């Protein structure tokens, strides 16, 4: 997947601690969401979605590997950290639910990632994550398009699909506030990011005959918690499954 010529993986200069914390947060986001999407394999509603969801999962896993490798050993970071040491937002760790729930999570997150990587890529050289962002933003634009197309189909499809899409969007809404909590070390205009995100998601949902959910976008408990290592209950179980084999054979290489 990545090659020696790939600017995203070419011998990176060591990151300063603040930038490393930023890379870890974004790497964990991609790693965890990739894992959730991989859980769809063999369960998708049509074969084309088996391909699409695995494809997106693979892109995200590639991003995670690049980001985690900037911080340390990718496998040590993925398989030997405990729940409280993960820095991903709670949104990405939420269980898949039905297809609409998964698509709602994809819409919220891929729009966020596209805008965020867009800003990081535009920051250019001073940002150590700029090369990765420049590559990833192309992948993420595809993920966003996929989520957007399905949001339109489900929202403006049948009564059932409309209701399910509505339910998915509403259930995940409270996890979206956390996305815009500034991550130290990343040169991002967070307020601008949030405004752009609301406009983009709102635009898609309007076309999908849905509209933005009502209600809070994050309580005092949940907002920012994932970035500090405080997660939701399903996350520990996900990690148990993900890590058990690696942990069962200490020191082995695979």
| Contact residues for another protein, defined by CB under 8 A | 1, 31, 35, 38-39, 41-51, 54-55, 57-58, 61-62, 64-65, 68, 74-75, 78-79, 98-99, 152-154, 156-158, 160-161, 164, 241-242, 244-246, 249, 251-254
Question: At which residue do the structure tokens 């709102």 appear?
Answer: 202
CB of 153 or CB of 181, closer to another protein? 153
Q: Phi/psi at 34 (nearest 5 deg)?
A: -60, -45
Q: Phi/psi at 153 (nearest 5 deg)?
A: -65, -40
Q: How far is the CB of 217 from another protein (least distance, A)?
A: 27
CB of 138 or CB of 237, closer to another protein? 237
CB of 221 or CB of 249, closer to another protein? 249
Q: How far is the CB of 214 from another protein (least distance, A)?
A: 23
Q: Would you say 199 and 118 are in contact if contact means Cβ atoms under 8 Å apart?
A: no
Q: Would you say 150 and 163 are in contact if contact means Cβ atoms under 8 Å apart?
A: no
Q: How far is the CB of 218 from another protein (least distance, A)?
A: 28
Q: How far is the CB of 212 from another protein (least distance, A)?
A: 20
Q: Would you say 132 and 59 are in contact if contact means Cβ atoms under 8 Å apart?
A: no
CB of 209 or CB of 219, closer to another protein? 209
CB of 215 or CB of 251, closer to another protein? 251
Q: How far is the CB of 13 from another protein (least distance, A)?
A: 22
Q: Would you say 192 and 26 are in contact if contact means Cβ atoms under 8 Å apart?
A: no
**Using CA atoms, how far apart are residues 177 and 225, in angstroms rounded to an integer?**
11
For the chain, the residue count is 254
Q: Would you say 215 and 170 are in contact if contact means Cβ atoms under 8 Å apart?
A: yes
């Amino acid at each position: 997947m990545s090659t020696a010529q790939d600017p995203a993986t070419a011998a990176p200069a060591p990151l300063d601690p603040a930038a490393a914390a930023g890379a870890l947060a974004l790497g964990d986001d991609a790693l965890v969401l990739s894992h959730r999407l991989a859980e769809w394999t063999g369960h998708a509603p049509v074969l084309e979605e088996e391909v699409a969801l695995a494809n997106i999962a693979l892109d995200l896993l590639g991003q995670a590997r690049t980001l985690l490798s900037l911080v340390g050993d990718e496998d040590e970071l993925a398989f030997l950290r405990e729940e409280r040491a993960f820095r991903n937002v709670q949104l990405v760790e939420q269980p898949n639910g039905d297809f609409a729930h998964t698509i709602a999570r994809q819409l919220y997150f891929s729009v966020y990632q596209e805008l965020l990587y867009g800003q990081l890529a535009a920051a250019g050289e001073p940002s150590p994550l700029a090369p990765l962002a420049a590559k990833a933003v192309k992948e993420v634009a595809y993920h966003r398009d996929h989520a957007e197309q399905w949001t339109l189909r489900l929202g403006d499809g049948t009564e059932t699909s409309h209701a399910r899409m509505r339910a998915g969007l509403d259930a995940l809404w409270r996890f979206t506030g956390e996305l815009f909590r500034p991550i130290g070390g990343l040169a991002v205009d967070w307020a601008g990011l949030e405004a752009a995100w609301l406009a983009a998601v709102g635009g898609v949902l309007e076309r999908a005959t849905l509209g933005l959910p009502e209600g809070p976008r994050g309580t005092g408990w949940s907002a920012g918690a994932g970035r500090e290592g405080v997660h939701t209950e399903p996350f520990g179980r996900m990690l148990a499954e993900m890590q058990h084999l690696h942990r069962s054979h200490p020191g082995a290489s695979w």
